[in-house]
Structure 1
Amino acid sequence: MGAIEQMELYPSITEADKKAVRELLGNYPKMRLTVESLSRKESLTVKERQVYQEWSKLITELDMAINLILDDEVKKIIEHRFIKGRKYKFTVIQFQNHGMSVNTIDRRIDEGVKSIAETLKLCGILGVSWG
């Protein structure tokens, strides 16, 4: 009888994966605006068309990954910090006003980044060079 290979439901996430996700999330607002602007142009250069296609796919995958965050509190913090493009300082202030400590906010951000990384890894997005 052959050996049984066990597959992980969600792949292991490394610090490099989390760093890559943070970078993608940091670029998210600008990527979204760029895609929206390019979609309104009548004709695109070769480079613009390439950026539009790649970034549209990436934004779609990021949106899906964010929507798959199960904890609503984590999702709200991720949306505030990255999707709305708020600075870390303002995210901390916003959620401290809701009774959270800085450590709790940091843990929630890390949970969200990890959840997004898991989804992006499953979809084959992590490890791919974008733009």
Structure 2
Amino acid sequence: MAMVWGQGELFPTANEKEIQRTKFLLKKYKEMTILMQDFENYEEELKQTAVDGETARRIDQEDLHADKTANAAILIEKQRWVYQQYRFYTHQLRRAWGLILDVEEKRAIEYRYIQGYSRKETLLFFRHSMSDSTVRRKIDDGVMSIANTLKLIGFFEQEIKKFQM
């Protein structure tokens, strides 16, 4: 795995695009975990629904007489692929979150993104121990820490390679 860092850079820092990607994935974290759990719990039912239901009748809206069984198989594989992508993303985010050294940053990120509370709810939760601006700064610093860790472990390069294939 070739790392594209600055010369002599032992701990790379994430660029603005990587920070924004990290923030986007963190905002989707709770949704991804819920969908993964649903897929794990109801995979067989999803398969049966794809075969029996109208979802697989026409994957392509242009196709008036589609092979429903073949389309159901494609739909099931697509759902499995999405599940595997979500597992990869959530695992890497959780791994990077676990490496945050500042306890307050870690707690703020956990409450805001891992547990999925809104920014306002997070501010209210920490109101007794920190000011609103401190909570915002801890969240921003935590996102930066996660983005830097993701860069260090090669996450962004892996992600680019996956979509270039």
Are 1:49 and 2:80 an aligned pair? yes
Q: What amino acid is aligned across from residue 94 of structure 1 in structure 2?
A: F
Equivalent in the alignment of 1:16: 17
Q: Contact 1:117/1:126 (CA < 8 Å) preserved in 2?
A: no
Q: Distance in 1 between the 2:18 and 2:88 partners? A: 19
Are 1:93 and 2:124 an aligned pair? yes
Structural mapping, 1:75-114, within 5 Å: 75-98=106-129, 100-114=130-144
SS at match of 2:24: helix
Q: What amino acid is aligned across from residue 25 of structure 2 in structure 1?
A: L
Which consecutive unaligned segments of at least 5 residues does structure 2 have? 1-5, 48-74
Displacement of 1:103 after TM fit?
1.6
- How many residues are paired up? 126
TM-score of the two chains, using structure 2 as the length reference: 0.69
Displacement of 1:7 after TM fit?
3.1
Displacement of 1:13 after TM fit?
1.9
SS at match of 1:45: helix
Q: Contact 1:62/1:116 (CA < 8 Å) preserved in 2?
A: yes
Equivalent in the alignment of 1:122: 152
In our comparison, the structure showing a higher alpha carbon Rg is: 2
Alpha-carbon RMSD: 2.1
Divergent runs of 4+, >6 A: none
Q: What amino acid is aligned across from residue 66 of structure 1 in structure 2?
A: W
Displacement of 1:81 after TM fit?
0.5
SS at match of 2:104: helix
Which consecutive unaligned segments of at least 5 residues does structure 1 have? none
Displacement of 1:126 after TM fit?
2.5
Identity level (%) = 38
Q: Distance in 1 between the 2:33 and 2:8 partners? A: 34
Displacement of 1:123 after TM fit?
2.5
Q: Distance in 1 between the 2:122 and 2:144 partners? A: 18
TM-score of the two chains, using structure 1 as the length reference: 0.86
Q: Contact 2:150/2:156 (CA < 8 Å) preserved in 1?
A: yes
Q: Contact 2:19/2:143 (CA < 8 Å) preserved in 1?
A: yes
